[in-house]
Structures are given as C-alpha cells and as structure tokens.
C-alpha cells in the first residue's frame, strides 16, 4: 500500500460512506483493482478512515449531538444489534470482505430494492429524529445489521429500515448518519485494539502506518462533508432510483470482470 492508494481509498470512503451504495464494497473493489493485498493493516485502514468520514456528521450536525440525553439513548439502543452480531460474526465478516463476488451480488440485490423503496414507503409520518421512539430505533438497528454483508451498505440498510418505520427520506437519512457515529467508533476502537494487541504497531512500518491512517482519515472527513450536503439535497428531490440503477450496473460489471479475467482478485 502506498500514498496513492491511501488517497484514492480515502476519497472513495468519503464519497460513499453516506450514500446507499456501500463504502466498504467500493473499497474492496478498488483495493482489488489496484492489486492491494488484504493484510492486517489494509483491513484496519479501511475501518479507521470510516471514522474520519463519520466525524463529518458530528461537525455538520453538532447541535443535534448536544440537544438531549434521549438522543444518545436512541443511538445506543439502535447500535446494540450490530455490536452483538459484530462480535459473534467478526471472523465470518472478515472472510466476506475478501470476496469481490459477494460485494457484486449485494450491489445488484440492493440496487433492485432501491428501485422500489420510494414507492413502498411513500406515506411517512415521522419527519425528524425527535419523533423517533426507542422501539423504532431498535428496529432500525436490526436493519443496519444487514450491512455486515459487504456491498449491502450500512447507509442503505438503515435508511430503508427507517423508511419502513414511517420516517421520511430526510429523517431516515439523517438518523442513519447519526447511527454511523457510535457504530463506526466502536468498530474502529476494537480494530485498533486488536491491531495493537497483535504487536502490529511495533513493526518497522509503524510510522508510515500511522501517517497513512491520519492522511486517509483527514481526506475522508473533508470529502464526506461535501458528500453529506449534496446527498440530502439530491435525496429530497429525486429519491433512490438513480442509486439503484448505479448499484445494478456496477454489480453486473464486477461480476463480468470476476468471471472473465484477472481484473479482480480475492486476497
């Protein structure tokens, strides 16, 4: 992994973390196309820079994060399913992260769902986070667990989950943003601890690794700030269909590349 790889992956992360297209899936495919081997640091890098991207949410929605204790209670409730399943299934999830074909299939299936989600859930009654109750938050949290399959998209899963619970597109998207903060913070802390426990930060590459993590996180943060603002505006006007078509086309292209040549490789 070199500095060019770091910059490209960080831009991809910042652009896609909050779009319903799967940031993890895009990084898996990009890493494979660039020939980046899936060693322990690369896996750590792909998680840590996600934290950089979600810090954009805290900056853009800072007032929401200081308004009430109940806001945090709802986030904790919603993140519980992902914490439990993440701990139980981590080894299996890591294996899936190495397979571009899994990502491609998830792209297509998720894309088909996004073509119809605006029609399925077109009578929202909840237009802001304050009106979300604890049970609804928990249900959205279970939907988020679907994103443990690479290519599903945490954003798409939680937004669709929110819309299924009568949230408007904007309210569902914003709650998905908020939910990303504890979810990705917990995942990052755990991966950093596991990496440290293995003694991986004591290698000769330690200084370069830390530099890559910092650079990647900063770039992801800056790009994510721009992406969030653009996404909310686009979503309110146009809905999800364009993202659905994009996912389907991208998934089909990945499948073709996977079965017809050496452009994609599993680690």
pLDDT digits (tens, 9 = 90+) for 71-82: 999 999 999 998
CB 254 within 8 A of CB 265: no
Alpha helical stretches, state H, the chain: 3-16, 23-33, 40-60, 69-96, 100-120, 134-144, 154-164, 169-197, 206-238, 241-260
For residue range 80-98, what is the model confidence (pLDDT) as tens digits? 998 888 777 766 666 666 6
pLDDT of residue 205: 66
pLDDT of residue 63: 87
Query: What does pLDDT average to over the chain?
Result: 84
Chain centroid to Cα 72, Å, comes to 20
pLDDT of residue 166: 92
pLDDT at 110 over 70: yes
CB neighbours of residue 102 within 10 Å: 19
For residue range 178-228, what is the model confidence (pLDDT) as tens digits? 988 887 787 777 777 777 676 655 556 677 878 888 999 999 999 999 998
pLDDT of residue 213: 87
CB 203 within 8 A of CB 97: no
């Amino acid at each position: 992994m070199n500095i060019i790889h770091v910059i490209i992956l960080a831009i991809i992360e910042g652009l896609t973390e909050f779009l319903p297209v799967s940031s993890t899936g895009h990084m898996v495919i990009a890493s494979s196309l660039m020939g980046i081997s899936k060693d322990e640091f690369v896996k750590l890098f792909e998680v840590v820079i996600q934290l950089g991207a979600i810090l954009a949410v805290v900056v853009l929605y800072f007032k929401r994060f200081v308004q009430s204790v109940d806001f945090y209670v709802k986030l904790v409730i919603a993140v519980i399913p992902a914490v439990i399943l993440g701990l139980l299934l981590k080894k299996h999830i890591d294996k899936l992260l190495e397979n571009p074909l899994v990502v491609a299939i998830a792209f297509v299936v998720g894309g088909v769902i996004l073509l119809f989600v605006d029609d399925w859930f077109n009578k929202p009654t909840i237009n802001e986070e304050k009106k979300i109750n604890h049970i609804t938050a928990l249900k959205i949290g279970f939907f988020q667990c679907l994103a443990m399959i690479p290519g599903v998209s945490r954003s798409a899963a939680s937004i669709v989950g929110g819309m299924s619970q009568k949230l408007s597109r904007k309210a569902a998207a914003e709650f998905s943003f908020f939910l990303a903060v504890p979810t990705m913070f917990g995942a990052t802390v755990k991966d950093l601890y596991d990496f440290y426990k293995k003694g991986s930060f004591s290698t000769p590459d330690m200084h370069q690794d830390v530099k890559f993590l910092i650079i990647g996180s900063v770039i992801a943060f800056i790009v994510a700030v721009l992406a969030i603002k653009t996404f909310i505006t686009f979503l309110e006007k146009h809905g999800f269909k364009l993202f659905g078509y994009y996912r389907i086309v991208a998934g089909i292209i990945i499948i073709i590349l996977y079965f017809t040549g050496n452009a994609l490789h599993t680690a």
